[in-house]
Amino acid sequence: MADAHKAEYKITVLMTVYNEPVEFVEKAISSILTQKFKDFEYIIILDKHDNYEMRSYLEGTAKEDGRIRFYVNEQNMGLARSLDKGIDLAKGMYIARMDADDISKPDRLEKEIHFIEETGADMVCCLVDKIDEKDERWDEIKPFPDSAEFIGKMLPVQNIVVHPTVMMNTERVKVLGGYRPFASCQDYDLWLRMLTNGYQIKILNENLLNFRRHKNSITASKRYVQLLNEVYIRQLYKERVSTGKDSFSEEALVCFMKSHHADSKAVNEKENSKSALYREGVEDLKRRKLASGGVKILRSISSYTVRESIKVTVNARKVKKQFIQRLRKREL
């Protein structure tokens, strides 16, 4: 991370692009350029240098609007290192994340900058509406209790922060060294490092972003790798809580993933099958086919992905229940 410097803008909007459809990227960029809040720069990093159609479009767009600073990685760097590059280049006091296929609502930056400065938080996030490839809303994230106690207990159990909704203090992120090179969940690692370093994280309970996600879009094999990253990141968090530091290294990460056969096609195929069986079981239960659904879920439990998903869900529900019970006792 580069040394501290005087901010030239209030906000740096940071977005990486890889292989998203041009029409999605156009909507993402337009949603930022038409924000009510105007004091920002917009860093866009293309992490696929041979995506010539996208490169041409982004070069042209940058020439049309001076707020855009466009960069191309001449070799693939991955999301974490691309974001760290953007953080080094940032001239804003705060960094607002944006993904290339999402849509920020017109008052997102205005409301987030007001909230982060009003609360003095180091990082804030908001809620989202989930949309599909046709921009049609199919789900939303419900409000969370916005207290340090709840966030401090929930985040180590479940990542409740939607990455492209985040606004964070640039210099505070640089102090932590930015993102670390996980293949996925690099944002979760950063949030938990913020937590163990005493950073204040706040939730703005307003839906300020249309978050593009296809129903069941992630494959079981990718979910398996994602869960392994989450497990390792939680282990690192527990190390920091216990000793004040963690043992992260890229070599240790590779060893952890290999020890769980994350690169094994056979294991991933098994995870695909077991996860599909679990989903079928859940659907059967919804249709009141209790016996069939129960059998399918029990048969799927041998899947590492399913076990971890169930554990995360159970732990998260437990934390929420305990927190709500404490709130009710205080009100009595």
* 21 and 80 together in one domain: yes
Pairing of strands 201-212, 123-131: parallel
Q: Are 296 and 284 in contact (CB under 8 A)?
A: yes
Say yes or no: 41 and 176 in one domain: yes
Residue that has been written with the tokens 């709130």 in this structure: 327
DSSP secondary structure string for all residues of 176-235 = TTS----SS-HHHHHHHHHHHTT--EEEEEEEEEEEE--TT-S-HHHHHHHHHHHHHHHH
Mean pLDDT of 104-116: 98
User: Of the candidates 181, 212, 243, which is a domain's last residue?
Assistant: 212
What is the structure's pLDDT at 317?
67
Instruction: Provide φ and ψ at 68, rounded to 5°.
Output: -90, 130
Q: Which two tokens stand for residue 141?
A: 């994230």
pLDDT in tens, 149-191: 889 989 998 899 999 999 999 999 999 999 999 989 999 999 9
pLDDT digits (tens, 9 = 90+) for 207-246: 999 999 866 555 556 777 888 899 899 999 999 999 999 9
Please indicate, yes or no, if residue 2 is contained in any of the structural domains: no
Residues 256 and 304 in one domain: yes
CATH of the domain at 182: 3.90.550.10
Which alpha helices (DSSP H) does 34-157 contain, by range?
52-64, 78-89, 108-119, 148-154
Q: Is pLDDT above 70 for 81?
A: yes
99 and 237 co-located in one domain: no
Looking up tokens 């409740």 gives 160
Asked whether residue 42 falls in the same domain as residue 162, the answer is yes
Residue 224 lies in a domain: yes
Q: Judge whether residue 266 has pLDDT over 60.
A: no
**Are both 146 and 233 inside the same structural domain?**
no
Q: Is residue 1 part of a domain?
A: no
Q: What's the CA gap between 305 and 268, in Å, rounded?
A: 10
Question: Which range of residues forms the domain containing residue 230?
Answer: 220-331
Q: How confident is the prediction for the chain on average, in pLDDT?
A: 87
Query: Domain boundary residue among 171, 196, 212?
Result: 212
**How big is the CA angle at 311 (ends 228 and 163), to the nearest 5 degrees?**
55
Residue 181 and residue 262: Cα distance in Å, rounded? 16
Q: Is 160 helix (H, G, I), strand (E, B) or coil?
A: coil
* Domain-embedded: residue 47: yes
pLDDT above 90 for 199: yes
Q: 108: pLDDT confidence band, cut at 50, 70 and 90?
A: very high
What is the pLDDT, as a whole number, of residue 320?
A: 66
Cα–Cα distance measured from residue 24 to residue 128, given in angstroms and rounded to the nearest whole number: 17
* Same domain, yes or no: 46 and 88: yes
CA 244 to chain centre: 25
pTM above 0.75, yes or no: yes
Per-residue pLDDT averaged across 4-23, rounded? 91
170 shares a domain with 69: yes
CB contact at 8 A, 281 and 297: yes
Q: What share of the chain is helix, strand, coil (3-state, %, to 5)?
A: 50, 20, 30
Would you say residue 3 lies in a domain? no
Domain total for the chain?
2
| Of residues 193 and 6, more confidently modeled | 193
Confidence of residue 332 (pLDDT cuts 50, 70, 90): very low
80 CA to centre of own chain: 11
Length of the chain: 332
> Concatenated DSSP letters for 28-58?
HHHHHHT-S---EEEEEEES-TT-HHHHHHH
Residue in the block written with tokens 């229940």: 321
325 pLDDT higher than 80: no
